[in-house]
Structure 1
Amino acid sequence: MARAKKVVLAYSGGVDTSVCIPYLKNEWGVEEVITLAADLGQGDELEPVRKKAFQAGASESLVEDAREIFVRDYAFDAIQANAMYEDRYPLSTALGRPLIAKLLVEAAEKYGADAVAHGCTGKGNDQVRFDVAIAALNPDLKVLAPAREWGMSREATIAYGERFGIPAPVKKSSPYSIDRNILGRSIEAGSLEDPWVEPPEEVFVMAKPIADTPDEPEYVEVGFEQGIPKTVNGNACDPVTLVTQLNAIAGRHGVGRIDMMENRLVGIKSREIYEAPALMVLIQAHRDLESLTLTADITQYKRGIEQTYSQLVYNGLWYSPLKEALDAFVRQTQERVSGTVRLKLFKGHATVVGRQSPNSLYAADMATYGEQDQFDHKAAEGFIYVWGLPTRIWSEQRRRS
């Protein structure tokens, strides 16, 4: 019995998603498979991917240029929230999944499909991100995950595809599994599965090795308006250009490499390597600008919100009531987060060395120790007495007992 008649499949052109096409049709009785390849800035030419889908048996092969939407509506929101999963991973890959899910749902509604599908296995985070996001956007749509259920090894999957005219991939010397978009790259598998092994230089593309970086530092200025990056070195940029430029500038200095043990949602630990030069610089600059323009209580309270926000995104809950509520909080805090941050890029490090804002809460005449000092030093004694009064009473009571 067919699980669905018409299916929209998230398509990358790789082995698994290509094999999904004949598998859905021949094993699960799907009558029509429409593929959707989303261009999130992964740098690949998608016309061959579109043609390959037809060769594998797709009735329609869609290609969506979603780069601007990805940066503007997903990455910039995450930057406003300083989103860093486990304080290290800026969610460069995870941020693309809710957008792809949205594109799948929209295509399904446009073409009258009764299901959507993806090529995720049962071991990673992406299956959760897709399934939950799709359910949030259209709970009536079925979600099919053939690769999670077919139980075939890599070799068996390739052999199955060959039966239906899908050529075996050219054998690669690289054993790594790589995912890329405009925000960065994630690299895993191969020798990286040993947490003790240093990542070989061959896995990195965006951030240069320290030995090959310039011997002189480079300064870059990033301008923000209400928490959204708008300019690089004083030049206004559209979202895609801004991220592309910063990837090149920061990557040239070896900035943006991450090597971490990551706690996956499915309960296992995974050694992950990431490159995200622009995203790391933007979050660092944005957080610093917040320290200049937000009051202490908002800044400190927002740190907890940021951790929760990062976990929601990582765990596939982009379209959830809590995430929506946190978005409202974050956006309200950004109303006065405008200004410019200057960073020094040198030998793998991005260091904030200057910041300015028309909404700065820094009062030089209160902070200075020079002759212009306007701070009332005499007021400190009374403040300290009242501030420390609960501690004083507690101490006296303890000494009496």
Structure 2
Amino acid sequence: MKKRLFSLLMTMAVTAGLLTGCAGSKAQVDDKTIVIWHDKEDAVVEVLQDKLSQLEPDIHVVLEKKSDLTESLKMVGNDPNSAPDMYIFAHDKIGVYAEVGILADIKDLIPEDQLTDYIDTTLAAATYKDTIYQLPIYYETLLFVYNKRYMEDSEVPSTTEDLYAYMEENTAGGHYGFVEQHSTPYYAAGWLAGFGAEILSKDGTPCLDSAEVQSALNYHKKFVELMPGETEYATVNTLFSEGMAHSTIAGPWLIPTVRESGMDVGVAPMPVIDETGKPIMPYMGVQGVQVLKFAAENKKDSVTKVLNVLMDPEVEIELAKASGCAPARNSCYDNADIKSDEVVMMMKETAQNAVPMPNIPEMDVMWSVMGNLLTDVNLSGKDIAESTAKAQQEAEQLIQSMK
């Protein structure tokens, strides 16, 4: 086991052991109260609270917001006095918490045949070392978004070369044909995947000096040259929101904001990369509920009833209507309200080629390494081969230090 994870596990074990001794016997466990940590916006919480209230008075569910959820969870582990019973969060931290031994196997609480309606990629995202540690609720992907004031539907690029031609014709005088967070790993990952490249292999081996990564970076660079040098989240969103950028790649969370400003905004499939025949393939983030082992063992009946409520397709439909969340269950897409939501349906289409974010512990170090690589190549103009070799060595050293 990795040193950092082992140290964390030992700290959790000692703390939980001491506190459990003070807590008393299993009979003193309040198995009628379920605490769920989350970091979600009010619209999502309102839907969840309304649906879970149907368990009252037999089961009282407390939804507790944690702005620093991941760090808080590391501190409390499986301590029955401090830890939640469940938490709702993205899937990419599953590997970390599975390795430290605090998560329960969802199949120990829900029969596997009840999971058949879930979109395959959401279950793949929820799985670590052949064990499903998350019950998916909804997912998000990046989208190709455009301002219809400048880019008519007939002009939406179907390929990246079409996009490049549009950028050349429309980038001038402070206006940009297309902008994106080109040097942020989460956004750049879609271009890499379109070239068949990986940031990290499934077994935790970094792949930053591969021919595919180098080809992707080299091809993508000509697009970067037609964008502003500063492309952080706020800059890109401001350029698009204020009509200075005609199109962008953004998350669904941007769309309500620009619509409120009066923009006639459109969403479209990701352009296909001419050199590979594959579309830009963004990361997919799956939001769902994870169960801590202590709760699974000592509150199994109540936890299972909570999971059963969250498995109701109506929950996901209401979340989609309230917050634009794309349901994780296939059957939800038969609903008329879902079918008529162009953003949700475009996420479903994009998800056909999206790549679930890696959920293995090694990914934690890759975000910063990849960010440095993108800065070197896109902003500092450094040699791609030399930069990828340097990044590969740095990633290997950081991952080795975890072992």
Instruction: Answer whether TM exceeds 0.5 for this pair.
Output: no
Return the structure number with greater helix share.
2
**Larger radius of gyration between Structure 1 and Structure 2:** 1
TM-score of the superposition, structure 1-length normalised?
Answer: 0.31
TM-score of the superposition, structure 2-length normalised?
Answer: 0.31
Return the structure number with greater strand share.
1
